[in-house]
Amino acid sequence: MSKPCRRAFDFAVDDGSSGKYPLPDDSRSGTMPMNGNGNSAGYSGMSKKEVLALRLKCVGSPTSLYFKDDPMMIVQGEGQYLIDEKGNRYLDCINNVAHVGHTHPEITRACALQMNHLYTNSRYLHEANSTLAERITSKFPKSLDVCFFTNSGSESNDLALTLAAAHTGGTDVITQTGAYHGHVQSCMAISPYKWRSVKDKPDHVHVVSSPDTYRGKYSDSDNPTEDYVKEIQDTIDDMKKKNKKLSAFIMESMQSCGGQIIPPAGYMRDAFGKVRAAGGVCIADEVQVGFGRVGTHFWAFQLQGSDVVPDIVTVGKPMGNGHPVAAVVTTRAIAESLYKATPRYFNTYGGNAVSCTAALTVLDIIENEKLMENAIVTGKYAMEKFEQLKENHAVIGDVRGKGMFIGVEFVRDRSTKEPATEEASIVYKRMKERYILVSLDGPDNNVMKFKPPMCFSMDNVDQLVQALDDILSELATLGLI
């Protein structure tokens, strides 16, 4: 158990240790028995049927849910587990938002204490805001020393685009196939993952191939880095011919929705070189993969070498462990360019005291509980176990990953790499029947994603791999794979 996370601004409040500050006595939020698959008497709220009916009636239909055919109702989280209304406990292999574990008691406590003092907009000086800016920027190479707070990854990427345009005077953006950068209009414009067809591509957006070394455009090349980067140069040349001015190149340091893609060595260095030579700035989207998930480094772009430094980095999801807090980190020069263009960046909730407290506590917990070390050890163990499974199951075409960010790609034939999309979908549903939550992604929906809370243990890996082994063996026996 790590040290309690007390802060200077914990002053003069009954902090709960006396019992005066308990969480609401509410059976719905009380810890529920974790019995694997039995019924629990702990939940007494609305039935799943009622909740679903209300949702169907009142929530916009495009709003997505896991397991659309039989959505789950989760009433409790704890560490790497999620518990439904019946008390079924699921091993969560995909929730990179609950970075340090669901409902971490230190975050609950720190936020509750802060809420006892102040929760409002962010127009005032506050220790949590300034301290978080200092601590976040201290995690980056020296040149990235300025921080803006937002509420979500989408907002961060939108602001990153604004910063880039203000700094370069450019309009055009280069993005990658398979990229996802958020749901707001500016981000959808640069997110081919969400386009129904290339007709959705706006004129100011240019798409280069995702640097996928397994099934990407240049995966068979002797030098995929060179070929993928050449595509960027060709795009820049083409833009120049059309008198278009580059603003930014944006990429996820490792694509997640795009299928857990790890760029080849040298890709970011060379790509950034071309973009800068053309007057653009380089944005690394770390919304999914930041905060130590890769284990060896705090940010995934750092895997590409200590000399690889983006001009703007966007972070989100894990930053508040489920609390909506996100940020853009950049150079002072870029921040000043925005100041010259529009001197008033104001974001009502971005950087509010409660959100900053959640994020500060996440940083403490990553350190105190040695979660990056765990990502290295447990991630390596998971990679080895998946590799062993690959030896026994031909349907596994590729296993790739870093730390607690792994992709297992299913194929019908290893030589043609024909995607085993339907087979992957069966696996995904069967895993749920085994009380294990995984997800599928990639352009062909055939990549099983592993990006769990960072407290995931080796025993958890064993449970996951055993279930996958059983399911694949069973499907092989039935002739389904």
Ligand X SMILES: Cc1ncc(COP(=O)(O)O)c(C=O)c1O
Q: What's at 150, amino acid-wise?
A: T
Residue of 165, 174, 287, 325 interacting with ligand X (CB under 6 A): 287
Q: How far is the CB of 197 from ligand X (least distance, A)?
A: 21
Grouping H, G, I as helix, E, B as strand and the rest as coil, residue 314 is: strand
User: Which residues within the stretch 14-53 sit at the binding site for ligand X (CB under 6 A)?
Assistant: none
Grouping H, G, I as helix, E, B as strand and the rest as coil, residue 155 is: helix
Q: How far is the CB of 337 from ligand X (least distance, A)?
A: 23
Q: How far is the CB of 402 from ligand X (least distance, A)?
A: 15
Pairwise CA distance, residues 68 & 86, whole Å: 19
Q: How far is the CB of 314 from ligand X (least distance, A)?
A: 7
Count CA within 13 A, CB hemisphere, residue 381: 16
Q: What's at 286, amino acid-wise?
A: E
Phi, psi of 306 (to 5 degrees): -70, -15
Q: How far is the CB of 265 from ligand X (least distance, A)?
A: 21
Note whether 408 and 424 are within 8 A (CB). no
User: Which residues within the stretch 126-155 sit at the binding site for ligand X (CB under 6 A)?
Assistant: 152-154
Mask of contacts with ligand X, 247-286, x by CB under 6 A?
Answer: -----x---xx---------------------------x-
Beta bridge partners of 449: 407, 439
Q: How far is the CB of 316 from ligand X (least distance, A)?
A: 5
Q: How far is the CB of 86 from ligand X (least distance, A)?
A: 28
Mask of contacts with ligand X, 440-479, x by CB under 6 A?
Answer: ----------------------------------------
Mask of contacts with ligand X, 169-208, x by CB under 6 A?
Answer: -----------xxxx-------------------------
User: Which residues within the stretch 307-366 sit at the binding site for ligand X (CB under 6 A)?
Assistant: 316-317
Of 450, 391, 442, the residue nearest 421 (C-alpha) = 442
Of 295 and 324, which CB lies nearer to ligand X in the complex structure? 324
Of 236 and 271, which CB lies nearer to ligand X in the complex structure? 271
Q: Does 87 bind ligand X (CB under 6 A)?
A: no
Pairwise CA distance, residues 92 & 86, whole Å: 17
Residue of 235, 288, 302, 321 interacting with ligand X (CB under 6 A): 288
Q: How far is the CB of 151 from ligand X (least distance, A)?
A: 8
Q: Where are the alpha helices (DSSP H) in 84-126?
A: 105-117
Note whether 76 and 45 are within 8 A (CB). no
Of 88 and 157, which CB lies nearer to ligand X in the complex structure? 157
Pairwise CA distance, residues 185 & 205, whole Å: 13
Q: How many residues bind ligand X (CB under 6 A)?
A: 16
Pairwise CA distance, residues 216 & 199, whole Å: 22
Q: How far is the CB of 315 from ligand X (least distance, A)?
A: 9
Of 79 and 322, which CB lies nearer to ligand X in the complex structure? 322
Q: Nearest 10 degrees: CA dihedral of 119, 122, 124, 130? A: 100
Q: How far is the CB of 185 from ligand X (least distance, A)?
A: 13
Mask of contacts with ligand X, 210-249, x by CB under 6 A?
Answer: ----------------------------------------
Of 351, 385, 328, 21, the residue nearest 160 (C-alpha) = 328
Q: Which are the contacts of 361, defined by CB distance < 8 A and separation ≥ 6? A: 5, 104, 106, 107, 110, 111, 321
Of 133 and 284, which CB lies nearer to ligand X in the complex structure? 284
β-pairing verdict for 205-208 and 172-176: parallel
Of 325 and 411, which CB lies nearer to ligand X in the complex structure? 325
Of 100 and 461, which CB lies nearer to ligand X in the complex structure? 100
Count CA within 13 A, CB hemisphere, residue 34: 15
Of 109 and 449, which CB lies nearer to ligand X in the complex structure? 449
Phi, psi of 377 (to 5 degrees): -70, -50
Which residue's beta carbon is nearest to the bound ligand X? 153
Q: How far is the CB of 410 from ligand X (least distance, A)?
A: 21
Q: Which two tokens stand for residue 67?
A: 């397991």
Pairwise CA distance, residues 58 & 52, whole Å: 10
Of 109 and 317, which CB lies nearer to ligand X in the complex structure? 317
Question: CA dist 448 to 68, 165, 195, 333, 368, Å?
Answer: 17, 36, 21, 41, 30
Tell me which residues touch ligand X (CB under 6 A).
152-154, 157, 180-183, 252, 256-257, 285, 287-288, 316-317
